Chains A and B, each alone.
Chain A
């Protein structure tokens, strides 16, 4: 569904240029769960931002369902974000004036969906994510894990086909992290959501079916889980990371 073709991204002015992405190419098929790993500063966020249309590429092309997202007019772009894209940040990003329920349903209702069906969809998603009992609370009244699940809910309530997550477990404790990762796996398996998750944590990455390793803006390696168990995959990831060198401590 997603093709990343030879993209490059530069930051900075004439005399001081940072190359954040360097000829990155890969394909994502429908229903995949991919983790993108790399040390801090390796370009993970930049890559995700380019795909999510938050940022633009300097060169190269990103095709979604064979359409280049760079060429989408503003209106189409908004629709694309609304209907196809779900985004989860490290730091939750819920609107603190809205309840959890309203946060999840916001995109739908702004989309002029029938209010009845919005309510139904939100309830359904909340049920799956196990946050039904906090729906009427405000973000500051619930835990980090619940907030992040709400963000996941928002990212998929409209039936978005692509979920982009930038270090979604970064601010969570290990129990909440595990819970969230299991939910994401479930979303991927049962609802067929395509997931692209950025992480620097091998444990989180081991939930994915495929792991891409980024180093200095380039794809350095790729690991497929295949039929192996999660624990085995976890150790394989650690091996690659060791090979990658650099700040192991930072990576783990």
Chain B
């Protein structure tokens, strides 16, 4: 038996005893590797030039992940050191120097970390395939499975792991070197005390932290960077204040109301919890903080994605949109010529968008929704242009009789226009509303470049033609997707014209480009946010679980004794469940109370018509919570089944 063999054996035992932790490190390695894969996959990078910005964001997210995981590793290592201090004391007692014990422990952790890394990279390959499939789908590119192996991705993952372990190990090695043999052997003599001792101070801190917490949540919801930062600060203060005062207050509460203590199984549940809670105030607060960050990043990620996707969707009925309010139409013509020469056009139409002589409808809509005013007067379109466009888009034809008009709008505007007085006048003549259509119609483009914004009024040609022109539109359906190169050329044409003749308000819009933008932004913002959220939840959940499972032997002895005293198995399992529920719910409740209002509020700031249907704030909040509790639930279930199996007498 040499030191290295002993390390190896201890490593095996560590992986077994702390299986949940080991599993988490494997998952983290898999995540890090899969995301590194996105950086180094030539295939993914060649989807679009814009993908070049993605690596930066992934590296940033990875740095945060490295920090969090090195904290986790450091915390767990420290925890193991404490639990196994007697073992280490014995090594010293039989003549090992602290230096050697440190080396022993170092190798043990290195072996565990190394195995996790190897397994993680293996698993990461599958995870990478999933991410790749999502990105390809976002770009609308056909997806085939192909084996991915990148030395660079492995290298970067290795670097991250070295950083993680370096930080955590240095700390524990220093601790081992300084440890006195007496402290190691008699570790259990030193008991942990509650942090806040006097109850009046505890109550004050508790009350103050609740107030600060509510204040912080509100500040987070106001806009403005400064308020946001102060709000985040308040939340942190709240969580620490709350958990330090509350956790250490539970024992005091029961001491004060002994009747409660002896009610049902309270005593048992209470005793199982107090020892942990009193010592875990700070860690509980940290866990709650991680959970809060997790729920917020999940929600933010989904809101982001909804904005990107739902802003693009109403305009995606046309493959190309070109518009200009320049009278001379010079740039417009240059671009149009390029399109006609270089892009195979299936169908196209050039037409004018006019302006009415008043802004009654715009006023009405903007006073009833969070409508963003783009036009000074209500936008108008001629019936024949409208018919042609409907035909082009394959929508069923509509008819308009003398003295009638119709409205084409986005669904959210339709709801408001139900209460519209419905009679409008053009040049003294009155028109009544025939109907409202709500198909996608390029009505979510800013800078007067679409078919109105949110809505447009459709009137007979002769009525429209006398109105002033807002801008010229040229909408195109192409046979093939507009390529990135074609888009760039068009953009360059516009840019050249601007350089020579000054800004002239010609706007160019391509569906393919918009979709690529959504895909890139999703890869750039949403993926990293979810990556972070996953790591945050796993880290916090695994710490809670390690704490819970470390009590296995203690619980086991306790339940054996209780059985001898005549307690039924059913009752024991109930007590265990209650204890479990409270233990896991505590750090999860404040994050839910902070996270949900934050998400709902953030989603509410977006312009109307975007956060609807599957993107409704409530749905997003629900999915965020669902995802969070799904991962959290896996850990709870793992801990519960393990405890139940090992603790309850048969």
A residues with a Cβ closer than 8 A to B are 49, 52-56, 74-75, 78-83, 85, 87, 93, 95, 97-98, 102, 105-107, 109-111, 154
Chain B residues in 8 Å Cβ range of A154:
94
Chain A residues in 8 Å Cβ range of B100:
78, 110
Of residues 292 through 348 on chain B, the ones whose CB sits less than 8 Å from some CB of chain A are none
From known contacts A53-B181, A78-B97, infer whether A95 and B90 are also in contact, taking CB-CB under 8 Å.
yes
* B95 x A82 contact (CB < 8 A): yes
Chain A residues in 8 Å Cβ range of B13:
97
A102 to B, closest residue via Cβ: B1
With A and B bound together, what is the CA distance between A49 and B185 in angstroms? 11
* A74 x B98 contact (CB < 8 A): yes
Q: Which stretch from B2-10, B426-434, B463-471, B582-590 is at the chain A interface?
A: B2-10
With A and B bound together, what is the CA distance between A93 and B181 in angstroms? 14
Chain A residues in 8 Å Cβ range of B93:
52, 54, 81, 87
Chain A residues in 8 Å Cβ range of B181:
53-54
Chain B residues in 8 Å Cβ range of A56:
182
Chain A residues in 8 Å Cβ range of B96:
78, 82, 110
* A82 x B185 contact (CB < 8 A): no
A-B contact pairs, 18 of them (CB 8 A): A54-B181, A56-B182, A75-B97, A78-B95, A81-B93, A81-B95, A82-B94, A82-B96, A93-B86, A97-B9, A97-B10, A98-B6, A105-B1, A106-B6, A106-B94, A107-B94, A110-B94, A110-B96
Chain B residues in 8 Å Cβ range of A102:
1
Q: Contact check: which of B6, B94, B97, B182 meets A49 at CB < 8 Å?
A: B182
Per-position contact with A for B173-186: 1 when CB-CB < 8 Å, else 0? 00000000110010
From known contacts A54-B185, A97-B9, infer whether A107 and B98 are also in contact, taking CB-CB under 8 Å.
no
Chain A residues in 8 Å Cβ range of B607:
none
The smallest beta-carbon distance between B87 and chain A, in angstroms, is 6
B residues with a Cβ closer than 8 A to A are 1-3, 6, 9-10, 13, 86-87, 90, 92-98, 100, 181-182, 185
With A and B bound together, what is the CA distance between A87 and B6 in angstroms? 21
B93 to A, closest residue via Cβ: A87
Main secondary structure of the interface of A (DSSP, over half): helix
Among A52, A74, A79, A93, the most chain B Cβ lie within 10 Å of the Cβ of A93
With A and B bound together, what is the CA distance between A215 and B581 in angstroms? 51
* A109 x B1 contact (CB < 8 A): yes
Chain A residues in 8 Å Cβ range of B182:
49, 54-56
Q: Contact check: which of A49, A83, A95 meets B95 at CB < 8 Å?
A: A83
A-B pairs, top 10 by smallest CB distance, nearest first, are A82-B95, A78-B97, A81-B95, A107-B94, A109-B1, A55-B182, A54-B181, A54-B182, A102-B1, A78-B95
* A110 x B95 contact (CB < 8 A): yes
A55 to B, closest residue via Cβ: B182
With A and B bound together, what is the CA distance between A55 and B189 in angstroms? 14
Chain B residues in 8 Å Cβ range of A97:
9-10, 13
With A and B bound together, what is the CA distance between A80 and B90 in angstroms? 15
Among B3, B13, B95, B181, the most chain A Cβ lie within 10 Å of the Cβ of B95
Chain A residues in 8 Å Cβ range of B98:
74
* B97 x A74 contact (CB < 8 A): yes
* A93 x B90 contact (CB < 8 A): yes
* A110 x B2 contact (CB < 8 A): yes
Among A81, A98, A111, the most chain B Cβ lie within 10 Å of the Cβ of A81
Chain A residues in 8 Å Cβ range of B97:
74-75, 78
The smallest beta-carbon distance between B111 and chain A, in angstroms, is 14
Chain B residues in 8 Å Cβ range of A53:
181
Chain B residues in 8 Å Cβ range of A87:
93-94
With A and B bound together, what is the CA distance between A93 and B9 in angstroms? 18
Chain B residues in 8 Å Cβ range of A74:
97-98
A50 to B, closest residue via Cβ: B182
With A and B bound together, what is the CA distance between A106 and B98 in angstroms? 16
B177 to A, closest residue via Cβ: A74
A108 to B, closest residue via Cβ: B1
A158 to B, closest residue via Cβ: B95
With A and B bound together, what is the CA distance between A107 and B6 in angstroms? 12
* B90 x A111 contact (CB < 8 A): no
With A and B bound together, what is the CA distance between A75 and B98 in angstroms? 9
Chain A residues in 8 Å Cβ range of B86:
93
B5 to A, closest residue via Cβ: A109
> Can you name 16 extra interface pairs (CB under 8 A) apart from A110-B95, A110-B100?
A53-B181, A54-B182, A74-B97, A75-B97, A78-B92, A81-B94, A95-B90, A97-B10, A97-B13, A102-B1, A106-B1, A106-B94, A107-B94, A110-B1, A110-B94, A154-B94
